[in-house]
């Protein structure tokens, strides 16, 4: 059920009937305050302007023509021409009841799109660090919500698995293999990469061999490919463990690394040259873009092939966008990449559009995010100033969660304790990230994210267990319950039910804008409304059987909404804590 969409349609029809131009937007929004009703239509003023009519006069006409029987109990004109809409209680009740009877809680089927989501994208032979965590967590939430709504989601893990550094990595892998110290070395990527680089910089002979391997790898040499695959496999096996720990839905099948596009690159460069978009400049192949100016105010040159014949990150992203449209048949492509790569993406996509590789009707969207900062407001680092590895971070989350849970819930032990510790620890790290608007930098603070008050994972998980516990304290036959009528009388019941019916509106916005923090804010709000309902409206001790059943049903809808909502965020729930 999407009430906002329904009301938009109704107000739109009334606007047309009142003579407003066809493109008039009804601008129906959820009202910020109860006194303004449940929804308000804000589009009257601009429609009136186009008509040259006093806005209040148009508002009166629209209200007269509005066919909201059975939907709204009251409409009011406010201020210069806003229309406040108060939902009919029976309408809310009926739709809440219908939502309960549906496995997808009454979500309207969408016209399915193929949505490619580029996220996580770590690099081979490098440990995933906190810089990849936001992409992984937020991108996965985007994948989940779009899938729930009914879209076809293609997860694209743009693994950094190609480039000149592979000569050096292969040469070093060969060296440690010969010395039989491979296992030890490869388990620590940071160290492996550093040591490889050191050999490359200091050992002439090693560097020569490394450069030879790059050329051989590029031309498909068996041995080099085998060594390269080994590096990729070891990296992805480790990363997969992190995905599993994080309850992230990525699998090995989702890897579409940079190497996938490598065979396309010569053709792309030739095509861009043939189209007159790319030209030779001092041996390199360059696309000059009027849209971007360099320091001298001249069109910026984007190199797509270096003088030595090597291709660049941009060339790969041009090919990759083309592939996602042509081969994967994307209707929409979302990129979860930190905001520092914005200019890079814009340049690549400007070239993509000019070359006609992806039509304008298929959006390429950069869902950028800011950096993760420490409490001191500086980039998040270890005490010694190194980058923090993601797995160390998760280890710390678990140990802090364990200490917290043992203190708060000493009655929980054994396997149940382990599962709870995991759900809260991992949930806290994820939720802290997901609950903030992604576009800004965010401060990573253990105490905040593990607090039981406020918009945090532990609070939401606890709120969920409170609802779930009602069904533990009494024997409830769910099927029989669902067959009972739903009768909502108290204002708090109506307020909660109305909010529960807005679930789809939130998910739709999150799908469109890639902003899971709106889901968090919504669920937090639902939890608050449930609390006040729970405090004022006895459920198990209700005054009569119909009320008792109705309140149980409302609690059940709350429980299912919280669960489904937290699922779209990849946050696990537990039955008690």
Would you give the binding string for ligand ARG spanning residues 175-214, x where CB under 6 A is met?
Answer: ----------------------------------------
325 vs 329: CA distance, rounded Å: 5
In angstroms, give the least distance from the CB of 135 to ligand ARG.
7
324 binds ligand ARG (CB under 6 A): no
Nearest to 539, CA basis, from 437, 434, 469, 440: 469
| Identity of the residue, 317 or 505, whose beta carbon is nearer to ligand ARG in the bound complex | 317
Residue labelled with tokens 């491979």 = 182
In angstroms, give the least distance from the CB of 154 to ligand ARG.
13
In angstroms, give the least distance from the CB of 207 to ligand ARG.
24
562 binds ligand ARG (CB under 6 A): no
| Identity of the residue, 344 or 381, whose beta carbon is nearer to ligand ARG in the bound complex | 344
Buried b (16+ CB within 10 A) or exposed e, 54-78: ebbebbbbbbeebebeebbbebebe
118 binds ligand ARG (CB under 6 A): yes
**Number of neighbouring beta carbons within 10 Å of residue 340:** 11
In angstroms, give the least distance from the CB of 258 to ligand ARG.
8
Residue labelled with tokens 């790569």 = 341
CB 71 within 8 A of CB 10: yes
| Identity of the residue, 337 or 569, whose beta carbon is nearer to ligand ARG in the bound complex | 337
| Piece of 28-36, 118-126, 240-248, 445-453 that binds ligand ARG (CB under 6 A) | 118-126
Buried b (16+ CB within 10 A) or exposed e, 446-463: beebbbeeebbbbbbbbb
| Piece of 55-63, 117-125, 485-493, 498-506 that binds ligand ARG (CB under 6 A) | 117-125
104 vs 114: CA distance, rounded Å: 20
| Identity of the residue, 2 or 120, whose beta carbon is nearer to ligand ARG in the bound complex | 120
160 binds ligand ARG (CB under 6 A): yes
516 binds ligand ARG (CB under 6 A): no
3-state per-residue secondary structure call for 362-414: CCEEECCECCEECCCCCECCCCCCCCCEHHHHHHHHHHHHHHHHHHHCCCCCH
| Identity of the residue, 365 or 505, whose beta carbon is nearer to ligand ARG in the bound complex | 365
337 binds ligand ARG (CB under 6 A): yes
Counting residues that bind ligand ARG (by CB under 6 A) gives 9
158 binds ligand ARG (CB under 6 A): yes
Binder of ligand ARG out of 121, 248, 286, 312 (CB under 6 A): 121
Residue 168 CB partners (closer than 8 Å, separation 6+): 196, 197, 199, 200, 207, 210
Phi/psi-derived region of residue 2, left when phi > 0, alpha when psi is between -120 and 50, beta in every other case: beta
Binder of ligand ARG out of 58, 304, 320, 421 (CB under 6 A): 320
| Identity of the residue, 120 or 247, whose beta carbon is nearer to ligand ARG in the bound complex | 120
| Identity of the residue, 284 or 320, whose beta carbon is nearer to ligand ARG in the bound complex | 320
| Identity of the residue, 289 or 364, whose beta carbon is nearer to ligand ARG in the bound complex | 364
CB 467 within 8 A of CB 530: yes
433 vs 372: CA distance, rounded Å: 9
| Identity of the residue, 137 or 337, whose beta carbon is nearer to ligand ARG in the bound complex | 337
197 vs 199: CA distance, rounded Å: 5
317 binds ligand ARG (CB under 6 A): yes
Q: Which helix (H) or strand (E) holds 50?
A: helix 44-51
Interface positions with ligand ARG (CB under 6 A): 118, 121, 123, 158, 160, 317, 320, 335, 337
């Amino acid at each position: 059920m999407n009430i906002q969409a329904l009301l938009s349609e109704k107000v739109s029809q009334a606007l047309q009937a009142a003579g407003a131009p066809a493109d008039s937007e009804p601008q129906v929004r959820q009202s910020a305050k109860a006194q303004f009703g449940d929804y308000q239509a804000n589009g009257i003023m601009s429609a009136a302007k186009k008509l040259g009519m006093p806005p209040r006069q148009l508002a009166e006409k629209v209200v007269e023509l509005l066919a909201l029987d059975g939907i709204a109990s009251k409409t009011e004109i406010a201020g210069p021409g806003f229309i406040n809409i108060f939902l009919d209680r029976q309408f809310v009740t009926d739709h809440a009841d219908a939502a309960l009877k549906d496995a997808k809680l009454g979500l309207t089927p969408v016209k399915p799109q193929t949505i490619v989501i580029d996220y996580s994208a770590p690099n081979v032979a490098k440990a995933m660090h906190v810089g990849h965590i936001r992409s992984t967590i937020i991108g996965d939430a985007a994948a989940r919500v779009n899938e729930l709504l009914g879209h076809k989601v293609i997860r694209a893990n743009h693994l950094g698995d190609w480039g000149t550094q592979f000569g050096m990595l292969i040469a070093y892998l060969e060296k440690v293999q010969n010395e039989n110290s491979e296992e030890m070395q490869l388990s620590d990527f940071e160290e492996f990469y550093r040591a490889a680089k050191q050999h490359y910089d200091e050992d002439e002979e090693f560097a020569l061999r490394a450069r030879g391997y790059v050329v051989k790898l590029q031309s498909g040499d068996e041995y080099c490919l085998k060594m390269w695959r080994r590096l990729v496999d070891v990296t992805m096996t480790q990363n997969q463990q992190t995905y599993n720990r994080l309850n992230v839905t990525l699998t090995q099948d989702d890897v579409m690394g940079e190497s996938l596009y490598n065979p396309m690159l010569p053709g792309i460069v030739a095509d861009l040259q043939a189209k007159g978009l790319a030209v030779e400049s001092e041996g390199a192949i360059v696309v000059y873009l009027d849209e971007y100016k360099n320091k001298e105010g001249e069109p910026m040159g984007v190199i797509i092939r270096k003088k030595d014949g090597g291709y660049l990150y941009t060339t790969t992203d041009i090919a990759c966008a083309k592939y996602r449209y042509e081969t994967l048949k994307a209707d929409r492509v979302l990129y979860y990449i930190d905001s520092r790569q914005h200019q890079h993406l814009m340049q690549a996509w400007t070239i993509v559009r000019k070359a006609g590789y992806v039509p304008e009707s298929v959006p390429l969207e950069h869902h950028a995010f800011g950096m993760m900062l420490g409490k001191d407001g500086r980039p998040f680092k270890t005490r010694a100033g190194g980058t923090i590895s993601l797995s160390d971070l998760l280890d710390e989350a678990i140990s802090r969660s364990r200490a917290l849970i043992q203190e708060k819930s000493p009655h929980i032990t054994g396997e149940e304790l382990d599962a709870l510790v995991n759900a809260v620890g991992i949930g806290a790290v994820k939720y802290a990230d997901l609950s903030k608007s992604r576009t800004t930098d965010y401060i990573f603070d253990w105490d905040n994210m593990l607090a039981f008050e406020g918009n945090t994972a532990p609070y939401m998980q606890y709120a969920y267990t409170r609802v779930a516990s009602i069904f533990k304290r009494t024997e409830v036959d769910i099927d029989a319950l669902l067959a009972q009528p739903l009768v909502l009388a108290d204002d708090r019941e109506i307020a909660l039910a109305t909010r529960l019916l807005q679930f789809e509106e939130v998910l739709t916005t999150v799908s469109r804008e890639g902003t899971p923090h709106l889901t968090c804010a919504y669920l937090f709000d639902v939890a608050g409304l449930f609390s006040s309902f729970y405090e004022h409206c006895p459920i198990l001790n209700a005054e009569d059987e119909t009320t008792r059943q109705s309140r149980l049903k409302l609690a059940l809808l709350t429980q299912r909404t919280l669960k489904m909502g937290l699922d779209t965020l990849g946050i696990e729930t537990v039955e008690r804590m």
